[in-house]
């Protein structure tokens, strides 16, 4: 106890701890990258919510163009209230969805960004560190491929001095909008070139 002194009023104070900022609803993407194939038709990036879950919360989820083009590769989500996603009380996760445009042309991997902005709730809201996610679109289904129509062909060996022709088809799948060039050649198995068959080595175009 202090000695030789007198206490003046106030002799007590009240300290109020305000944790409202820390407990505000916080929203962010779960993942830094979201991978999808063009043929999926849609990308769904998960947005998670932490903090005070008792309040309804909303946040804008909008697109930002990089390599993938709006209107050609995906449908834009604008930075307006048209792009709001909503969390009901108690809800911890909600998807942010974007429609993809599936064409017949093969393209290398392309990407765009999904961004969160303008979070709101009755007690305020804030964004977490993962406020955007990179959407990477692959187009494997449209990649041009070539192959033989069948894996096994059978032919009857012709009589001596005769020639038997074998027709083998090469088929192409995937993007058919451009010309493709390839090479085909024979390789000995049990049959020997020049003795059992006439070897070929040629270029083809499809």
Residues 60 and 115 in one domain: yes
- State how far the Cα of 176 lies from the Cα of 35, in Å rounded to an integer: 25
- Is the pLDDT score of 65 beyond 70? yes
> Is 6 among the domain residues?
no
- Read off the pLDDT of residues 119-129 as tens digits, 9 standing for 90 and up: 999 999 999 99
Q: Is the pLDDT of residue 140 over 80?
A: no
Measure the CA–CA gap between 128 and 46, rounded to whole angstroms.
14
- 77-99 average pLDDT score: 97
Judge whether 55 lies within some domain: yes
pLDDT of residue 20: 57
pLDDT in tens, 147-187: 778 888 888 888 887 887 878 887 777 666 667 787 888 88
CATH of the domain at 69: 2.60.40.2030
The rounded percent of the chain whose pLDDT value lies above 70 is: 84
Residue at a domain's end among 140, 169, 185: 140
* Domain-ending residue, one of 90, 115, 140: 140
**Cβ-Cβ contacts under 8 Å for 157 (sequence gap 6 or more):** 164, 196
pLDDT number for residue 172? 73
- Predicted pLDDT of residue 166: 78
């Amino acid at each position: 106890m202090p000695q030789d002194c007198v206490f003046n009023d106030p002799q007590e104070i009240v300290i109020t701890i305000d944790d409202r900022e820390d407990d505000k609803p916080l929203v962010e993407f779960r993942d830094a990258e979201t991978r999808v194939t063009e043929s999926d038709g849609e990308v769904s990036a998960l947005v998670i919510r932490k903090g005070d879950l008792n309040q309804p919360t909303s946040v804008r989820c909008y697109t930002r163009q990089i390599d993938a083009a709006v209107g050609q590769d995906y449908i834009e989500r604008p930075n307006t209230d048209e792009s709001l996603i909503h969390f009901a009380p108690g809800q911890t996760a909600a998807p942010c969805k974007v429609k993809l445009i599936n064409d017949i042309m093969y393209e290398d991997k392309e990407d765009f960004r999904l961004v969160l902005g303008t979070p709101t709730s009755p007690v305020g809201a804030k964004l977490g560190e993962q406020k955007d996610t990179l959407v990477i679109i692959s187009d494997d289904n449209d990649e041009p491929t070539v192959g033989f129509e069948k894996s096994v062909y059978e032919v009857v060996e012709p009589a001596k001095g005769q020639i038997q022709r074998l027709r083998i088809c090469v088929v192409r799948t995937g993007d058919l909008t451009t010309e493709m060039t390839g090479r085909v050649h024979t390789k000995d198995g049990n049959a020997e070139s020049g003795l059992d068959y006439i070897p070929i080595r040629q270029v083809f175009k499809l």
